[in-house]
Amino acid sequence: MLHPAASIATLRDQFRWDIPTRYNIGVDICDRPAAATPNAPAIVDVAPDMTYVTYSFADLRDLSNRCANLLTSMITPGDRVGVLLPQCIETAVAHIGTLKAGCISIPLFTLFGPDALRHRLRDSGTKVVITNAEGYEKIAQIRPDLPDLMHVLCTDDGQIDQSFHDLISTRSDSFTAVDTAADDPALIIYTSGTTGNPKGALHAHRVLLGHLPGVEMSHDFLPQPEDKIWTPADWAWIGGLLDVLMPALHHGIPVVAHRFSKFDPQAAAELIRDHNIRNTFLPPTALKMMRAAGVSDVPMRSVASGGETLGSALIDWGKETFGVTINEFYGQTECNMIISSCGALTPAEPGVMGFPVPGHEVTVLDDGGLPTQDEGAIAVLHPDPVMFLEYWNNPAATAEKFQTSRSGTWLLTGDRGRKMPSGRIKFVGRDDDVISSAGYRIGPAEIEDCLITHPAIKLAGVVGRPDTTRGQIVVAFVVLDAGIAASDELTTEIKAYVATRLAAHEAPRAIFYVDALPMTTTGKIIRAQLRDLAAKQRSS
């Protein structure tokens, strides 16, 4: 744990990692607090109609033990389990049970369509999926393409072959967790890139311990008495799972589980007030929407945000609305929570992300791989407890992520930055073409691959265009097949096509019809030219 200090430098000097050789996330965030405070609230599960049930750490232990016993009767340690669920008690139970069983958990976003799910489940060789009725129907569409998938467990009632609740109810609530090493695989979280399909970042059990300093710093020295946390970010993403759910349970802090089908700023404020939530991770888009909706007077103890740089207007609004400084943090799926601000320690510097978090060596490298005060590549020194093990089944991509020079071996984030005189790091831009929209990292290649499967489309290029609310929006340039005419109806159809096959947040918000795409001599799309075009044109 971090402890308040007189300065960032002192905070860093006082910090030492304590990573045990043997460690299991499931035991740490469930069995350990259940042994100390069994009746303390762990999950407040708020349904869509806003009714709620509170589950204690003892409840969470018993349910996850039943889940672990079920899984061990179906699969073996090291096998992969997909969790295709929204924020709810079953999501926590599924992840914890999977980890106790020594298996590898794969969080999956409920808005993924069949194409996105097919790739992730097939690439990982997932053996079991735990999902609800909606997810069950999606999996049924693609199950013939998933030869490794043995069981689909459904959390909803109905005519379902394998009912998750019925099956775990017959299992013992006692379970001895698999004795895992801190470096043993625990999670695969898929992340989008600019080329090819999304890659599976394989994380070890130690990844949670690696997150803790950044989480504690971004929440002004979490935990404090009466802390209770919520985020609108889905638990399928690293920001919801490892920035909120798991660190909070580690510290014995109750987590409110509720994800709006569509984010509602006023309803979010009401949720915070009704449940006495004191801590939250709000992505920049959510903050902008709350500010635009006139949300005010929502006292908090800590508010963290990440995904985009926060400007002075948003920080000032946050102070008036929440009574605290919004702490900006930075990281990525492969190596998260490595930079953070901390309003309890030092004032924010608008437009600048924050300081390297204690325990993480983060700097800016020049082209030769040496630290520089000029603009360069944001990089993290290897090894690091929060750093991923590898990309699943992709050694070439893993090797490309690292650079070795006489200054050491560094993980390259793919982002550009500048080290400020204060010691903070300023984000400058992305090295690649990944689109950052409303807190999501979206790879253009996956969308382009989906678009060209539409019967009217011959070629497609996808880029991000700056947007005041979302940071960026997805923009598609489309070459139609011969004899196909552009129309408003076709535009609507194409947007819906991507939304249903991939996810709503990946659907283009603007589509331009062109005769040809700018290409290099080797046939690669020149996205820089598309970005220039997107800035000049209006949506069709």
What pLDDT does residue 112 have? 94
pLDDT tens, residue by residue, 308-349: 778 888 899 999 999 999 999 999 999 999 999 999 999 998
Q: Give the pLDDT confidence score for residue 251 in this predicted structure.
A: 98
Chain position carrying tokens 């589950």? 55
- By DSSP bridging, strand 471-480 and strand 510-513 are parallel
For residue 524, pLDDT over 80 is answered with no
With a cut of 60, say whether residue 521 has pLDDT above it: no
* pTM exceeds 0.85 for this model: yes
- Residue-wise pLDDT for 473-504, tens only, equals 999 999 999 999 999 999 999 999 999 999 99
CATH number belonging to domain 25-205: 3.40.50.12780
Across the chain, mean pLDDT equals 93
Residues 202-206: contacts with CB under 8 Å, at least 24 apart: 202/104, 202/388, 202/389, 202/390, 202/391, 202/392, 203/388, 203/389, 204/389, 205/23, 205/24, 205/25, 205/99, 205/180, 205/181, 206/19, 206/23, 206/182, 206/385, 206/386
Domain ranges for the chain, please list them.
Answer: 25-205, 435-536
Over the stretch 71-107, which tens digit does the pLDDT of each residue have? 999 999 999 999 999 999 999 999 999 999 999 999 9
**Which amino acid does the sequence have at 403?**
Q
The 10s digit of each residue's pLDDT in 135-144 is 999 999 999 9
Q: Which pLDDT score, from 0 to 100, does residue 351 have?
A: 83
* Predicted pLDDT of residue 13: 94
Alpha carbon distance 166, 106 (integer Å): 23
Residue percentage of the chain with pLDDT more than 90 = 82
Specify the CATH number for 435-536; select among 3.30.460.80, 3.40.50.10300, 3.90.1150.10, 3.30.300.30: 3.30.300.30
The whole-angstrom separation of Cα 340 and Cα 356 is: 7
Task: Kindly state the tokens that stand for 529.
Answer: 């030219």
Q: Considering only CA atoms, which of 265, 294, 261 is closest in space to residue 280?
A: 265
Structure tokens at 236: 């399928």
Give the C-alpha separation, 168 to 154, whole Å: 11
Q: Note the pLDDT of residue 540.
A: 44
Residue-level pLDDT at 193: 63
User: Across the chain, which distance is largest between two alpha carbons, in Å?
Assistant: 70
